[in-house]
Amino acid sequence: MFVICNEKTKVPIKIWLEDEGCLEESCLEQAYHLSQLPFLHKWVCLMPDTHTGKGMPIGGVIAAKDVIIPNAVGVDIGCGMDFVSTNIRVEDIRKIQTGNGSLVQAMIGGIMRGIPLNTERYRVPQESKVLDLAKREMEKYAENAELTELIDDGYFQVGSLGGGNHFIELQEDQQGFLCIMIHSGSRHLGKAICDHFHQKARELNRRWYSEVKEEYHLAFLPVSSREGQQYINWMNLALDYAFENRARMLDKTCGVVKELIGKHTGLSVEFGTEINCHHNYAALENHYDANVWVHRKGATRVREGEMAVIPGAMGSYSYVVEGRGNRESFCTSSHGAGRRYSRSGAMKAFSTEQVMVDLKEQDVVLGKRKKNDVAEECRFAYKDIDLVMAQQQDMVTPVRKLRTVGVVKG
C-alpha cells in the first residue's frame, strides 16, 4: 500500500498497489476528484483491483459525513456474490457421461434452461418476499411515482442472471470439492434507481451552487433531505432485491446439481453454509469514532471474522476469504480481479477462437447462448487474481481457493 498526498488532494489517497505506475491515469484522476469532496472522512481508499468507473473508480471506497452519492454506489446497486460448497468431489463426477454430454455439461445445460440469462425474463411473475414487503410499505416509495412501476416489473426478473460480468460457476476447491458461485445484482431495478437519483442530485447541486464540480459526476444528496431519504429507501430495496435474486438462483442451481448428480451417480449432495454478500452499496457505519456513510463501489466489506467471496475471471481462480477488519481500508477488500482491458479493448485484443481454445485446454465447460462476445469476459481481460490477493494480505485471509469447472454467462 502507498499513499498520495500532494497539492491535488484535500485528503490522502491510500492505494493498495505497488506504486502509482500500476494505476490507469483516468482512475487516478477520479481518485483526485474524490479527494476534493468537502464531506469526506479521513481518506480515499483504492483496492488492488481498482480501475476507472463512472464518477468513482471501481474498487473505490469513501466514508462521507451526512451525505450519500448515487454514482459512488453505482448503477448495479447490490451487485455481489453468492457461494456454497458441497460434499461432492469433482473427480467423482467429471468423467460421468449422460444423454446430454458429460455430467458437468448436463448441469450447465440444466442451469441455462432454468435461469433467464442476459436480457431474458420470466414469462410469469415469480415469488418475491422483498417486493411483497415493498408493496405493503408503498408509502416509503410513493413520492417517486415514476419508479414505482419497477416494483411490479421486478417480479419478472427476480432469479435471473443478467449479462456483462455476471456468472454462475461450478468450481473445484483446493481439496477437490465441488462448489457453486454466483455473481449478479439488482438487474434493471438498481440501474433505474441510480439514474433517477443521480439526475435529481445534479439538479439540486446546481441549485445549491455546490462546490462539487459537475464534471466529477459525483453529485450528492444530504441524508437529512427528503431526496436523500428517498434514495436510501430505494437503495435498500435494491440491496434486498439483489440479495434475494442471488439466493433464488443459488437455490435453483443447487436443485439442478443435486438432481443430476443423484440421478447419474447415486451420490447424495449436501450443501455447506451460504455466503451472500454485496459489493456495490452504501451503509451507515462507525469508523474512527464517527458515524459515516461508507460507499463501496466494487469493494467488499470484510470486518474481522466476516466471510466474503472474491472472484477471478472465468477459467482462472476465485477465493473465499475471512476478513481481518483492516481499519485503514474501512474494513474493505477488493471485489474481484479488476479489468486490464475495457470490453471493447478485450474484443480487439483477443479472438473468440483464442478464448474458446483456452477454456478447452483448461477443461472448462462454457454455457453461453452467443459466443461472439466471449472475449469481453475472458481471463486475459482481467488482472491476475493472485497478484490482487497478494496486495491485500492485511485485509483478508484466504479460506478456499477455487478454479472454474463450468461457467454460465449471459
Residue 194 class from Cβ within 10 Å (0-12 exposed, 13-18 middle, 19+ buried)? buried
CA–CA separation, 344 vs 381, rounded Å?
10
Residue 164 class from Cβ within 10 Å (0-12 exposed, 13-18 middle, 19+ buried)? middle
Domain coordinates in residue numbering, the chain: 78-276+304-321+341-409
The pLDDT assigned to 229 comes to 98
Catalytic pick among 51, 183, 196, 335: 335
Q: What's the predicted TM-score (pTM) here?
A: 0.96
State yes or no: is 183 an active-site residue: no
Tens-place pLDDT, residues 236-264: 999 999 999 999 999 999 999 999 999 99
The pLDDT assigned to 223 comes to 98
In the chain the first and final C-alpha atoms are separated, in Å, by 35
The segments of the chain whose pLDDT lies below 50 read: none
Helices (H), 88-144: 103-114, 129-136
Say if residues 64 and 70 touch (Cβ distance below 8 Å): no
CATH of 78-276+304-321+341-409, one of 3.90.1860.10, 3.90.79.10, 3.30.360.10, 3.40.50.300: 3.90.1860.10
The pLDDT assigned to 410 comes to 87
